[in-house]
Chain A
């Protein structure tokens, strides 16, 4: 049976511009979408693409461990949001609210605004990658770093909902981590950065749980 490291080695051909494009798409989805299933999937894929890029800068095993940390974070989000959605469904059933599935297929004003803002940030990230290249990393990774940091910042700024803020912080940290491993490949720093990410996920989940417990409606934008 192939190990995680073998699997990563097999898809290493993606570890260049395709991974950067993948990061652009997944981080963009996180900015635009408020559907938790889509967001968790996007985060899982985003960590996958980040790990692919990391394999070019650090040892494959260390990159794999970073990926595992990221996917554990996704698990935390999944479990929290699944519980939250159960509560929301129960509340909706109590209020006899009619399901509005058609709404899912219409782009709301909020989503359009987020999409536009995300595109603007991406253009800024592209320009920054050309004009202000980061030291010790190639151009495509520089672009990925700027995209992650910029779209993460946008996520933090656009919403005060705990999950969105948490996703934004984790996206921002992924971008920084991708750059910083090239400067400081120390395992201690990698471990501490992993601990920071995991604690951010736990803190976000705790805040989300408090929000559900009080039945507080999320202020989305």
Chain B
């Protein structure tokens, strides 16, 4: 019998090796990575936890079986199930886009390796090991973020730095809480733990003023790898945060929990909303748009209610649609402009790379939370939930979305400049033009984004089920 948790840890790791060996054949390696992530995602969500299932050759897979690995427990719980499926299925989408948009990057093999580590982080108990696995994943992601033939990835190193700085807080908190069990009268232990946890998660989630890695991770690296970090890596951190809140309910009952999370979220929304429209490069614009989205999710969690938690979870499920499209558009446009994403270098390129431009626009709409896009579904619900009690916050969220769209609009106005004559034409076709396959892949991603925007009920029940698995908030 094969234990499910072991399968989720080992199979991506083995396939990462296979994909790396086959990296020369870009289509084979990318589609193998897509197939692996897709198969594991479907397996996690469809196979029952309570009974073993027969698969090939009379073998059985028991998804819910607990495994002891080097003396640590690995167990797939109901709450982790949708979270894991989210990680695997989103990765499949990223690998699929990377197949056409970033065919020569290390993202597929490294991404599979990261999936194994992040799955381990969600499955392992106690949580102290999850922090270590996330740190190892951050170090490994530097390899994926490094662009082929590009300079050293500043974003990758910054991400690694901030994750490393967050590690001590998480590890020491575990020790402090163990001490608190022995000496329950010493409440200083709890306040120190709360401070360390807040600081660590602020570093991991890129809360202002620790946000500098967020724009850098997209602007200075392979954009799709940056999106992998901001959706899959950040998603794992979010689920780890929810696991912490579930394991230690006193954190949620702390009188400053709600205000602290709300303030952190608003600071991110404000910083992202103000900085996004002032960018002159597309890379940082995508990063600041992600910052706004992440901040809005924290605002939802800071509402300290079941609805807020559901919206925060929904934001995690929806975020990849917008960010993936923006990154795919950014990659395509960079390929056309010889690696430069400055607005001046992109002048008129919209006519040469229409699909990348379309991806950027639709992705921008989604991350800004505007209608006919996936992001609208949860952002509008959040604004409506905030409006009666905190109308100022709802207005700020809307304005931040507008800020992101102004940034996209400025980029678009540069992209759609028409060259008037051959003499003053600033558009020099530096890279290869978009192929039909790129058009098909991007069109599918746009359709998925618009589809979720028009029919949010596809994802909402999943978010509700996932939120219901966490019991630290009362209905």
Contact = CB atoms under 8 A, between A and B. Distances in A.
A200 interface: yes
Contact of B172 (A166, A183, A202): A183
B76 interface: no
Contacts of A184: 128, 171, 174-175
Contact of A213 (B129, B133, B149): B149
B153 A207 contact: yes
A214 B168 contact: no
B132 A173 contact: no
A208 interface: yes
Given A183-B172, A211-B151, A216-B151, A203 B160 contact: yes
Contacts of A203: 139-140, 142-143, 156-157, 160
A116 interface: no
Interface in A165-221: 165-166, 168-169, 172-173, 176, 180, 183-184, 188-189, 192-193, 195-196, 199-200, 202-204, 206-208, 210-211, 213-214, 216
Interface in B115-159: 128-129, 132-133, 135-136, 139-140, 142-143, 146, 149-154, 156-157
Given A169-B164, A213-B149, A207 B142 contact: yes
B167 interface: yes
Contacts of A176: 167-168, 171
A160 interface: yes
A188 B165 CA distance: 20
B72 interface: yes
- Among A168, A199, A211, A213, the one with the most B-chain Cβ atoms within 10 Å of its Cβ is A199
Nearest to B71: A188
B210 to A, nearest CB: 13
B70 to A, nearest CB: 6
A121 to B, nearest CB: 15
Given A169-B161, A169-B164, A199 B136 contact: yes
Contact of B157 (A183, A195, A199, A207): A207
B102 to A, nearest CB: 16
A162 interface: yes
Contacts of A183: 172, 175
A189 B149 contact: no
A141 interface: no
B114 to A, nearest CB: 12
Contacts, number: 89
A53 interface: no
A200 B160 contact: yes
Contacts of A162: 152, 157
Nearest to A170: B164
Given A173-B164, A188-B71, A196-B135, A207 B175 contact: no
Interface string B352-390: 000000000000000000000000000000000000000
Given A200-B160, A203-B160, A216-B151, A192 B132 contact: yes
Given A176-B168, A207-B146, A188 B72 contact: yes
Contacts of B72: 188
A156 interface: yes
Contacts of B140: 199, 203
A108 to B, nearest CB: 23
Contact of B152 (A189, A192, A202, A207): A207
B133 to A, nearest CB: 8
Contact of A206 (B129, B143, B151): B143
A166 B161 CA distance: 9
Contacts of B151: 210-211, 214, 216
Contacts of A213: 149
Contacts of B165: 153, 172
B139 to A, nearest CB: 4
A189 B129 CA distance: 8
B150 A214 contact: yes
Contact of B129 (A180, A192, A216): A192
- Among B129, B139, B154, B175, the one with the most A-chain Cβ atoms within 10 Å of its Cβ is B139
Nearest to B142: A203
Contacts of B143: 203, 206
B152 A208 contact: yes
A116 B419 CA distance: 54
A184 B175 CA distance: 8
Contacts of A160: 154, 157
B150 A169 contact: no
B153 A210 contact: yes
Nearest to A198: B139
A199 B156 CA distance: 13
A210 B146 contact: yes
A63 to B, nearest CB: 19
Interface of A: 153, 156, 160-162, 165-166, 168-169, 172-173, 176, 180, 183-184, 188-189, 192-193, 195-196, 199-200, 202-204, 206-208, 210-211, 213-214, 216
19 contacts: A153-B165, A160-B154, A168-B161, A172-B165, A173-B164, A188-B71, A188-B129, A189-B128, A192-B133, A196-B135, A196-B139, A196-B167, A203-B139, A203-B140, A203-B157, A204-B157, A206-B143, A207-B146, A214-B151
Given A165-B157, A203-B157, A210-B152, 5 more contacts: A160-B157, A183-B175, A207-B142, A207-B152, A213-B149
Interface of B: 70-72, 128-129, 132-133, 135-136, 139-140, 142-143, 146, 149-154, 156-157, 160-161, 164-165, 167-168, 171-172, 174-175
